[in-house]
Amino acid sequence: MSSGVRICRLATALSRDVIQWQKSTYSGGADGNECVELAHVEDSLLLRESDDPDRILQVTKGGLAALLDQLRLR
């Protein structure tokens, strides 16, 4: 996509075991499973929800900035 944002499944060369996910400090819920997780791989950032870890949003830094800008406008 030209916006620098795409949805992907990890059926690629990237292994879930290799990716180091970080949880937001604002994670909700008693068990911390209601949060967004972030990882950095090569030139991309990966985002996922902890309750659906196989659905991953792959973005560039510019794509993430544009996504956040659009969310702030809503």
pLDDT per position as a tens digit, 3-58: 555 555 544 445 555 788 888 777 665 665 678 888 988 888 998 888 888 888 88
Global pTM reads: 0.65
60 dihedral zone (left: phi>0; alpha: psi -120 to 50; beta): beta
Residue 62 has pLDDT above 60, yes or no: yes
Cβ-proximal residues to 45 (8 Å cutoff; 6+ apart), any chain: 38, 39, 58, 59, 60, 61, 64
